[in-house]
Amino acid sequence: MLFEPEAQRRRTDGWSVQEHAGHIADLDRILFRPRIVELERGEDSLLPADLTNATTEAAQHNSRSMDAVLAEVRRERGAMIAQLERMDPSVFSRSARHPRLGAPMRLVDLMLFIAEHDDHHLAAITALEAR
Interval 68-89: pLDDT, tens: 999 999 999 999 999 999 999 9
Long-range (24+ apart) CB contacts under 8 A made by 86-90 are 87/36, 87/40, 88/40
User: Whole-angstrom Cα distance, residue 99 to residue 45?
Assistant: 7
pTM across the whole model = 0.89
Interval 17-34: pLDDT, tens: 999 999 999 999 999 999
Residue 14 is predicted with a pLDDT of 87
Sign for the pseudo-dihedral over CA of 85, 111, 29, 102 = negative
Domains of the chain and CATH, by start: 4-130 (1.20.120.450)
User: Whole-angstrom Cα distance, residue 10 to residue 97?
Assistant: 35
